[in-house]
Structures are given as structure tokens and as C-alpha cells.
Structure 1
């Protein structure tokens, strides 16, 4: 069946309706079906940091669901990484094999750990197609009393480690014309009191994303970021909130996010996998809010 779309042709005297075959514009039926969602079918190799929990784990699981059959999962907690591995295999409909999930533990602020991630991935799989920089932390407190040690820790984990690992991956990404997705935050594009160091670190990730996108575009490598709002993970508890504070924080998110709720890790993972896929082939240097509209509103 031929599919037509209605267009209009303007002349000096009248407007004429024209019915043009949809495949004239490069969208046949099969093309529409294939391009409708992210998919991975070419043996892509994805490296994901922060994969032991939260958004990193969610991204790993989503990649497995969508057909990535070779994963390098990096994180600090080996038991949690094994849980992510198990879930990835289960959600892949048996397409992902245990031997094709490389688990690497360590602190990514250690350059030797980042180098090991790249070396082991290349040794096992021979290439890198996708890099997802998801490792990160948050610390709160006003500038007046927040220690410089907190600043250094945030910048080392949230920025420096991202730069170092990405630098090491660039030669391999050029070979595959691959993709980088950085996990930033709405805090990178909007200012918030009492989390200034964190906002600064994510703003740095955003600018790194844009500048690197320009540098690597001639090589066919795309670089994008996701900027989540409040998402239900353990990052805030690890940043110092107790259970009661965290419950209040999530309740507050219902008012601060126009969609009326905090986000889920799968919602961010959907954006990450899309940006990493060929379906986003004409997107680079994008900062992509996944924040329930949080970036659109004024403080209240």
C-alpha cells in the first residue's frame, strides 16, 4: 500500500493541494517501523560507568532490552554490578550472554581505573561504540560553609573522571563513529541554592558535551547529554539525606516538577539509549532535559 501525505503548493493565484508518496521523502513503511524506536543490531559495544545503581544501571538494562549484546559495566560495588548484569541478561530475551558482560570495579577518579576500563573492553570486544558517563555524586550545603574538599570531590568525580575516560575512549569511538552520552542534571542548566558545587560540576559537564561535540563531529562521533530532574535513585541518600528527608524531598518534587512527580530511572534510560542510537543520527551537542518540565519553571 502506498502512503501519501498532503502538502500544499503556493502559486500567485491559488493554493493547490498535492498528495505526495511518503517514500518520496525517504520514509517507506519499513523505514517508519524501524525508525520508530531505538534499536541496536550491529554488535555494538557499550561502556557504562555508574552501572551498579541508579541511572547507570537503568541505562545498562535498557541497552540490553534494545539489543546491545556486548556490555562493559563499571562501578564501585561488585555485588550491585552482578545484580545489574543478571537483570540485563534476563531483560535481553537471552540475546545477551553472561560472558559478554564485562564487570569492572574501581573508583573512576583513579586514572589507572579508567585506563583499565578501556583496555579491558578493547581486549575483550575489540571496539567501543557507545560511552555512557553516568558515575556521579551530589553534596549539598551553602558556599559560605561548604568545604573546598567537597568541591574537589564533586569536580573529581562528576567532571574530571568524565573527561579522562572520554579522552581514553575517543580514538576507539572515532573508528566506529560512535556516540557519547553524558549524564548531567537539570542543575547544569538551572541554578539552585545550597547545591552550588554540584550545579557547577554539572554545568561543566554540559559545556564539555557541547565543545567535544564540535571537535568530534568531523569524525562522525556524536556527543550528547541528558539532564534529569529529580529521579528516584539512591544518590541523594548517599549525599547525606536520611529517610525522612528523602521522603520530604520526593514529596516536594510533586510541586517543583510541572508533571507533578519525580522521574524514574527507565525514563532517563529511554533518552540515553535514543541519543546513543542511530535514530538520533543528526543530534549532537544536545542537552536533553528529562525533568518533568523542571527546567521551564521559576523558583517557588
Structure 2
């Protein structure tokens, strides 16, 4: 694979899960990869707490200082806290919207001058919860729906600049967060079988499967693709529940 030779990529949330898989695939394809998150990754790290609205400008500034260009921005960092609208503290609402929606907005804003020069690509990691909702996820669902809307807006506004912007909407993916959740169940093996059964292909997804779609959207092979939300969920959203 050499789709990304000479390219510079920035992946937020690149230390684990879908972000780590994406960063690894971009690097394998020849890109220089920067990862921005609170913990270390296997690539050029920019330690960053994206719940702080001043941080995105600092992250982009660091990439510009180190590489003087940016071709690919992947907004993957995310946060989910449970609770109905009655149960959720206002702080939880603000934090989830900051990390899941405002941080990608600010990353895009500050990256745009470099992306305009490179005629680059943005891929946002949304969720099927931007299309439907699981119980007790009001802030998470709202933030992901907002991210899908932001994706379309950026595509429309900056398509004339040569910048493409798409999003992926993953379903249940075997990230460390979801694996910990399964392990906390009384019967993890039974729960895994049950969660697999809600997918037509009868299993959950792997981070690498999402990473392949992200990297295709970021590549020149997708040069006429922009403003789209790509659902990757093993058919879960297509399958109706039994009557």
C-alpha cells in the first residue's frame, strides 16, 4: 500500500480503537501520522485534552510547526456518558458536545488553511447514534447528529477550495470501551452472542474494518466523494425488530 506516500495526517483519539487502527493503516500507506489525545500512541504524539476548547488551535499549530503541511484530518476522538435528560448533569452535556462536536469544528477551522493548500480531506467519525439513538444517550446522540451536519456543511462550503469532508457512522465496534462493557456483564459470552444477533451478518465490527473505510475516504480513490455519511454497522440499521 502506498496511497499516502508524502502525505501528512492528523488523527485525534489515535491511541486506541478505531483511531489507532486508522493511524496504523495511514502509516502503512506511507503517511506521516500525528495523533492527538490524552495518552501516548505509536506515532508522532501531541498530548491533548480535547475537552479544553483552546487545545485544537495548539494541536494544529504543532502539526504546522513540525510538518508545515496537512493533507488528512481524521476527527476520531469521542466521549460518551449515560443518563436521560433528567439524569444528566449539565457538565456532562457540555463535555460531550465539546469533545464530540466542538473539537472537530475547531480542528477543522484551524486546519483549513493547510488543507486548502494541499486540497486535502477530512473524515469525521460519527455514529449510527447520529441516525437513531440508544437509550440514555441524549448528549452523545445529539453530538453525533451535529457532527454529521457539520460534515455536510464543511463539504458544501469548502468543496470549491478542493477540500473534501465525509463522515463514517459506525455501529457496534469492538473497541476497548465496548470490550470493557461486555466484560462487565453477568454472562459476557451470552451478551456477545445477543449483541451479534442484532446484526444481519451476526457479529460486531472490528476497528480495522472502520479504519479501511476511513482511509479510503481520505484517499485520492474517493476524489469525487464528499458531504456523505457512510454507515458501517453490519446491517444493523437496515434490520427491523421482530413484530
Does the alignment reach a TM-score above 0.5? yes
Matches within 5 A, 1:136-147: 136-147=78-89
**Counterpart check, 1:72 vs 2:12:** no
Query: What is the match of residue 132 of structure 1?
Result: 74
CA contact (8 A) 2:2 2:30 kept: no
Supply the distance in 1 between the matched residues of 2:116 and 2:63 (Cα, whole angstroms).
16
CA contact (8 A) 1:228 1:268 kept: yes
Supply the distance in 2 between the matched residues of 1:196 and 1:296 (Cα, whole angstroms).
22
- Tell me by how many angstroms 1:77 deviates: 1.0
TM-score, normalisation: structure 2? 0.92
Query: What is the match of residue 161 of structure 1?
Result: 103
Structure 1, residues 246-299: CA drift from partner, whole Å, max 9, x if none? 936543321211111110000000000000000000000110011101121234
Secondary structure of the residue that 1:162 maps to in structure 2? helix
TM-score, normalisation: structure 1? 0.75
CA contact (8 A) 2:124 2:151 kept: yes
**Unpaired segments of 5 or more residues in structure 1?**
1-36, 86-101
Supply the distance in 2 between the matched residues of 1:125 and 1:146 (Cα, whole angstroms).
41
Secondary structure of the residue that 1:132 maps to in structure 2? strand
Secondary structure of the residue that 2:54 maps to in structure 1? helix
Structure 2 vs 1, CA of residues 281 and 165 (structure 1 numbering), >3 Å: closer, same or farther? same
Calculate the aligned-residue CA RMSD, in Å.
1.9
Query: What is the match of residue 52 of structure 2?
Result: 110
Query: What is the match of residue 50 of structure 1?
Result: 13
Larger Rg: 1
CA contact (8 A) 1:38 1:273 kept: no
- Tell me by how many angstroms 1:65 deviates: 1.5
Supply the distance in 2 between the matched residues of 1:296 and 1:50 (Cα, whole angstroms).
29
- Tell me by how many angstroms 1:38 deviates: 7.9
CA contact (8 A) 2:182 2:192 kept: no
Supply the distance in 1 between the matched residues of 2:55 and 2:214 (Cα, whole angstroms).
24
Query: What is the match of residue 232 of structure 2?
Result: 290
